Amino acid sequence: MDLQTEVLIIGGGATGAGIARDLSLRGIPCLLVEKGDFTSGASGRNQGLLHSGARYAVSDPEAARECIAENLILRRIAPHCIEPTGGLFVSLPEDGHEYRATFIRACEAAGIENLPLSPREALSMEPGINPALIGAVQVPDGAVDPFTLVVENARDAESRGARFLLHTEVVGLIRAGDRIAGARLKDRITGDEYAVSAPWTINATGAWANRVLALAGPRIELALSKGSMLITNTRLSGRVINRCRPPASGDIIVPNDTVSILGTTSLRSEDLEHYDVSPEEISFLVAELSRMIPAVREERFIRAYAGVRPLVQSGETCDDRGISRGFALIDHAGCDGLAGLVTITGGKLVTYRLMAEKTADFICERMGMHVPCLTRTQPLPGAGLSHALKDRLARLRRHAPATRGEILCDCELVPREAVDAILREGKVRDLQDILHRTRLAKGTCQGGFCVYRLLGVLNELRRGEKSGGSNRVLKAFLEERWKGIRPVLWGISLKEEELIESIYKGLFNLKPEEIPLPDGGGA
Amino acid sequence: MKRWDLIVVGMGLAGLTAARTAAGMGAKVLIIGRGMGSVALFGNSVDVLGEVKPGTDMAESIGAWIAARPEHPYARTGWKVIAAALDEFRALFPPPYSFETAGAGNSLVPTGAGTLRPTYLLPATMAAGAAMTREETLIVGLRGFKDFQGDTVSLHLGCRGTAVSLPRYGLEGLTAQGIARLMDEESFRDGLGEAIRGQMAGERFIGLPAVLGLKDPAGALKGLEALTGARVFEIPMLPPSIPGVRIFHRFREDLIARGATFLMGNPATGVSIKDGRCEGIAVHNPPLKTEYRADQYILAAGRFLGGGLQADMERIAEPLFDLPVFQPGERGEWFGERFFQPEAHPIHSAGIVTDADLRPVDERGKVVLANVRAAGTILAHHQAVEEKAREGIAIATGYLAAKRALTQ
């Protein structure tokens, strides 16, 4: 099975999906390949923050202006992926009034709406923050659901003819003289290999950019920075809470539905597949962030995780066209004499659309086409759906099964019907795909109970087979779960841990076996 | 103020065994607990030591194992005490719902994940599980009951599997407790038996989730076997555990008959200490705080799940008496890199270290409180889950702690 397309996009994160949508809206055929599921790289491992740009207002005004512009665009085109929480920049006594004044001036200069608040005003809005604060500034930060955002971009692109191949890895780039003319692909589940030919290949693999480039030879200067985050069991604030001081580690708490995400750290990293969250990082985050919200110290944490930010080394990219300080678009024809290959990397989740626009502009220009970008104004397909809780509840109620169905997940109330619906669609290929598309395994027990039940549902489809299985999938899930849970095991979390070990190692007598370590993610 | 001979903190199997042993010796006993304890979560059969191969005599094999582990709680009891304590336990469960070994040692019984696990004493409702063969067994799931996935069990065991609807309309989403209560009704279980019979293809064994009633499981078993003509067995599943609740109820019934006092629902929150002895235990029942006094005390509050141990970001503590706790290194060392790994996670060795009398000792081996003993999984230096020794440790140390407390 060999395929053909106009533009081959490698990477199913926000950038890749955004490019697929942008090109599709311009009528250019494209095909996207992704090694795992959507957002299995940095797009799925961030803090879910819709930046207002205020964080960069002082240190990098250009990036700040870019952020606020995209922030406002995303509120229009993707309101259903965003909770417009607003954000506070909180000054504690040790942060001083001087930086706060600088910060307010910088927000003004960057065009970021800002409202200085007295400590009393701030506390009346967010009673959880440290009462010792000396002031706060309100800015238009928000929370964004990256998975929905990416899936919505992909859904729109697909309806316009774009094709998506998930769990498909690029194993080779096809060279025709001094051009890249396509790629060799491998289906990671069936093992099938085939080729796709395309005049243009876009490497949108973020931190994995050099992995793909290595298949053809070139290399770009990219620094990788590991950021660790911590998920609480409850939501600690209504708004995004930032520390009003020069950007540093451990300075932000982002609400996300019923939980909050504490972040982040920043450590140089080389290993793209295994990045663990160290006990020191956790201790640091708890100590720093409990300064902003004291309840952090007593909070139960349900999971820790890390993502890898690709940081473009300035001055090292020979043809980044100066389009942004935050991201780089590299034409390998100019740099490495390899035509038909473009790398887009760096950037932030909030600027994914701009990155896609610039990439598509570039491809159009090289193709000699003059089609305007539409993503600035054209809403995503589900944009009519409001994100307000009452509307989401009303939708849930409409979709609730007529009879009282089985609830597979008691933490997040996921009905069996939700899983049956996903299975009927026929697009999911492994357990993690189902978990990504539901709230299963995202609650307090982190899948300790519901994954056993979910596997039962899947095994029901295999009734009649007498395989004598090894519980390999269940054990692989528990191993993956462990990575997120192990760093937060103290306090109440230890109760959950004892329960889960007693079930799976005790009652069910599951034993260690050689399980290959699950992927760290990425395209 | 009323004074007891012994106060037991904790209503898991260790606490219940300690209370019953003492009550059996004529002592006036008060037992305090937040709830039913871990027996209601994980109690099914009685594990003693999983490592002993089926067909091997437990009494002959366990001695060498204990001798190689001088810090293990079994090293305090030895096989003699374990055996005596198990006899006491079995005496509490006369036939037809009795606990027996299948042969001299462990037997392998099916689990809710479709694996086999070794265990020592089987309740009557699980005995046939040790005899089943994959060709002759039908695994039956209950539609709408999510904590037992019959197809997972049958697929992994390599048996035939099926699912039946519960005999009454609209019962989807029932819990194990709810189904177990219905199973106490003869008409309900007859309906289930009929449904199962309709699915059979000559099987000689039938495996069901462990929900065969709370009051009369042996009767339920007999009824189902009569209707299906096959041997029926219960399979342990996700907590809570109905067989465990049966154990709890039986202990409570017996303890109350012997005049023990049950104080359930509120935690013990503080102790008074004087001259190296405990003088009383405070129980907080808001807004009241009541102090209870006794000559002897046994702490059997379990590990983290039961609240017997607690950890902050730095260290592990015992919150009630603030007893010394064996520390398994710093937080970063408590758990290994993999969930499943050949060696147990270091945190499981944490707990209370005692003298031969089960009295907690400090790092130098000195007894901390002369009239306090610790029993059950709160003790240090065992891996109850992976050793498949949870009930054995609870029963043997609970028994020994009570004996020593009352003969002091």
DSSP type of residue A111:
T
Alpha-carbon gap, residue B253 to A522, rounded angstroms: 59
pLDDT single digits (tens) A87-138: 999 999 999 999 999 999 999 999 999 999 999 999 999 999 999 999 999 9
Alpha-carbon distance A315 to A504, whole Å?
A: 53
Of B112, B114, B172, the CB nearest to A404: B172
Please classify residue B351 by burial: count the beta carbons closer than 10 Å to its beta carbon, then call 0-12 exposed, 13-18 middle and 19+ buried. buried
Question: How far apart are alpha carbons A145 and A149 in whole angstroms?
Answer: 6
Residue B297's closest CA among B372, B374, B405, B377?
A: B372
> Domain B112-235 is of which CATH architecture?
3-Layer(aba) Sandwich (3.40)
- How many CA atoms lie within 13 Å of B349's alpha carbon, on the beta-carbon side? 15
Chain B contact probe: residue of A406, A483, A494 with most B CBs at under 10 A:
A494
* Phi and psi, residue B376, nearest 5°: 90, -160
Is A478–B340 a contact, with Cβ atoms under 8 angstroms apart?
yes
Residue B168 sits at the chain A interface (C-beta within 8 Å): no
Q: Does B154 touch chain A (CB under 8 A)?
A: yes
- Cα B378 to Cα B318: distance, rounded to the nearest angstrom: 9
For residue A230, the one-letter residue type is: L
Backbone angles phi, psi at A245, to 5 degrees: -155, 170
Backbone angles phi, psi at B247, to 5 degrees: -60, -45
CB contact under 8 A, A404 and B332: no
Q: Write down the ipTM of this complex.
A: 0.97
Residue A404: predicted pLDDT? 56
Residue B217 and residue B97 in contact, taking contact as beta carbons nearer than 8 Å:
yes
B173 touches chain A (CB under 8 A): yes
Q: What type of residue is A442?
A: K
**Shortest CA distance to A66 belongs to which of A297, A453, A327?**
A327
pLDDT in tens, A432-452: 999 999 989 988 889 999 999
The CA distance from A206 to A20, in Å, is 15
Sheet holding A168-176, edge to edge: A3-4, A193-197, A179-187, A168-176
Between A520 and A47, the more confident residue is: A47
What is the C-alpha separation between B230 and B244, in angstroms, rounded?
25
Q: Average pLDDT, stretch A407-425?
A: 88
Would the CB atoms of A481 and B339 count as touching at under 8 Å?
yes
Residue B315: closest CA among chain A residues belongs to which residue?
Answer: A490
Closest to A133 in 3D by CA, of A242, A54, A230, A58: A242
Q: What is the pLDDT of residue B172?
A: 67
Distance from CA of A292 to the nearest CA of B (A): 19
pLDDT of B395 reads: 98
For residues B340 and A512, the answer to whether their CB atoms sit within 8 Å is yes
Between CA B349 and CA B387 the distance in angstroms is 12
Residue A415 has pLDDT above 80, yes or no: yes
Instruction: Give yes or no for a contact between B24 and B5, defined as CB atoms under 8 angstroms apart.
Output: no
Fold designation for B3-95+245-407: FAD/NAD(P)-binding domain (3.50.50)
Who among B116, B158, B388 is closest to A466 (CB)? B158
Show me where the domains of chain B are located: 3-95+245-407, 112-235
Is B166 near chain A, with CB under 8 Å? no
Task: Supply the pLDDT for residue A49.
Answer: 97
Burial per residue of A137-147, b for 16 or more beta-carbon CB atoms within 10 angstroms, e otherwise: bbbbbbbbbbb
Main-chain phi, psi angles of B157, to 5 degrees? -75, -25
CA-based nearest residue in chain A for residue B389: A506
Q: Are strands B116-119 and B107-110 parallel, antiparallel or unpaired?
A: antiparallel
Residue A471 neighbours by CB under 8 Å, 6+ apart: A508, A510, B113, B114, B115, B156
Structure tokens, A329: 């678009």
- The CA distance from B183 to B197, in Å, is 17
Model confidence over A485-514: pLDDT tens digits? 999 999 999 999 999 999 999 999 999 875
Contact A462 B151 (CB under 8 A): yes
Closest CA to A310 of A278, A342, A344: A344
Q: From CA B64, how far away is CA A196, in angstroms rounded?
A: 65
CB–CB contact A286 B313 (8 Å)? yes
Task: Kindly state the greatest CA–CA separation across chain B.
Answer: 71
Note if the pTM is more than 0.80: yes
- pLDDT of B169: 63
Cis peptide before B287 (omega within 30 of 0): yes
Matching CATH number, A87-139+224-307, of 3.30.9.10, 3.20.20.330, 3.10.129.10, 3.40.50.300 = 3.30.9.10
Which chain B positions have a beta carbon within 8 Å of A493's beta carbon?
Answer: none
Whether B41 sits inside 8 A of A499 (CB atoms) is: yes
Provide the pLDDT for residue B171: 63
How distant is the Cα of A211 from the closest Cα of chain B, in angstroms?
Answer: 26
Q: Distance from B345 to chain A by nearest Cα, in Å? A: 10
In angstroms, the separation between the Cα of residue A250 and the nearest Cα of chain B is: 18
Q: What residues 240-299 of chain B have any CB closer than 8 A to a CB of chain A?
A: none
Record: contact B146-A408, CB cut-off 8 A = yes
Nearest-angstrom CA–CA distance, A192 and A206 = 25
Task: Return the percentage of chain A with pLDDT > 90, whole number.
Answer: 76
Chain centroid to CA A355: how far? 16
Whether the CB-CB separation of A325 and A312 falls below 8 Å is answered with no
Contact A475 B340 (CB under 8 A): yes
User: What number is the average pLDDT over the span A289-306?
Assistant: 96
Q: What is the mean pLDDT of chain A?
A: 91
Using CA atoms, how far apart are residues B304 and A497, in angstroms rounded to an integer? 9
Q: Which of A280, A463, A493, A517 to mutate to test the interface with B (most CBs of B within 10 A)?
A: A463
Q: In chain B, which residues have their Cβ closer than 8 Å to the Cβ of A514?
A: none
Instruction: Output the six-digit token pair for A108.
Output: 């003004």
Contacts with A, B 15-54, CB within 8 Å: 38, 41-42, 44, 50
Closest CB from B158, B162, B313 relative to A467: B158
- Put simply, whether B335 touches A (Cβ < 8 Å) is yes
User: For residue B159, which residues of chain A lie inside 8 Å, CB to CB?
Assistant: 466
Kindly determine whether residue A503 and residue B239, on different chains, have CB atoms separated by under 8 Å. yes
Domain boundaries defined on chain A: 3-42+147-221+313-367, 87-139+224-307, 400-507
Collect all residues of chain A within an 8 Å Cβ-Cβ radius of residue B116: 509
Distance in angstroms (rounded) separating the CA atoms of residues B52 and A231: 42
Contact A515 B38 (CB under 8 A): no
Question: Which pLDDT does position A464 carry in this prediction?
Answer: 77
Q: What are the backbone angles phi and psi of residue B360, rounded to the nearest 5°?
A: -55, 140
Which of helix, strand or coil describes residue A33? strand
Tell me the chain B residues in contact with residue A510 when contact means C-beta distances shorter than 8 Å.
113, 115, 340
Beta bridge partners of A92: none
- Residue A314's pLDDT is 59
Asked if pLDDT for residue A466 goes beyond 90, the answer is: no
A368 in Cβ contact with A63 (< 8 Å): no
- Asked whether the predicted pLDDT for residue A467 surpasses 70, the reply is no
The answer to whether the Cβ–Cβ distance between B304 and A465 falls below 8 Å is: no
- Report pLDDT digits (tens) over B44-87: 999 999 999 998 999 999 999 999 999 999 999 999 999 999 99
Which regions in chain B score pLDDT beneath 50?
A: none
Most A-contacting residue of B117, B199, B304, B388 (CB-CB within 10 A), to test interface: B304
Closest approach of B303 to chain A, Cα-based (Å): 8
Chain A partners within 8 Å of B118 (Cβ): 509
Beta strands across the sheet bearing A163-165: A163-165, A30-33, A7-10, A200-203, A341-346, A327-331
Contacts of B335 in chain A (CB under 8 A): 486, 489
Q: Rounded to whole angstroms, how far apart are CA atoms B214 and B237?
A: 16
Q: Which residues of B touch A406 (CB under 8 A)?
A: 144, 146, 172-173
Secondary structure percentages of chain B, helix, strand, coil, to 5? 35, 25, 40
- Report how many Cβ contacts below 8 Å link chain A to chain B: 168
Q: Which residue has the tokens 């904590």?
A: B147
Give chain A's length. Answer: 523
The secondary structure of A194-241, three-state, reads EEEECCEEEECCHHHHHHHHCCCCCCCCEEEEEEEEEEECCCCCCCEE
CATH 1.20.59.10 fits A3-42+147-221+313-367, yes or no: no
Cα distance between residue B72 and residue B66, in whole Å: 7
CB B375 within 8 A of CB B15: yes
Q: A25 pLDDT exceeds 90?
A: yes
B305 touches chain A (CB under 8 A): yes
